[in-house]
Structure 1
């Protein structure tokens, strides 16, 4: 299997020509889709991630694989875990050389709201995995986790 960098195209179902411009960066594709939507009121512009390409002579298919970002250790960072239903939160500082874990989230939340911490215990590892993998705010159930700062 040959892999190539993932690319994005913008597709307009009302368009008269197939999309030709490809974007390596999803943020640039989004900006272009928003620009096009502003120029063509009432039309939809879809950002499509290309996942494979099939060609003839002989027929071959190449997968276009987006590399999984490596899990970044949460060393030297502060994270905020919030329970949106109870309107409570706890900040967790992860010193340099340590890694954020679900148990650290639960321990921090136990001091603030022991009742909610029991619910968090079932979700904490999923929150941590999602934030480390995608580097963004994650919400699972009533809980939200985000990185506040990195030192």
Structure 2
């Protein structure tokens, strides 16, 4: 029976702590309250259920065991997977909300516009030109292939 690396468990603990703290804060301030309550419940239950569920494995890591059980359509593995997907979506919602709030601050707005202009300049100057070249090459190859196919086609007989 294997275990996940120590770095994984540290990252796992940090992410679950962030979910727990953010869901409590959003639940208290009544913003996204139902979603926050669900995230709060999942952040407390999922580690416990996952641990108890994966202890019964005979070999492999917890991740491998859950993947095998998912392929076998085991209901608890599906619940665990759905819970982790929900936690990921919750973190994206919180991140989007925080970015929207930060964008309303004038200093942050100015810095993000400056960064956006730099990225747009770099994109237009370097990346877009290379993409344009590659698209022309692809278009040319596709047209050559189409022309070759037309040459090798048998002439169609007209129906009488």
- Between structures 1 and 2, the one with greater helix share: 2
Q: TM-score, normalised by structure 1?
A: 0.22
Q: TM-score, normalised by structure 2?
A: 0.22
- Between structures 1 and 2, the one with greater strand share: 1
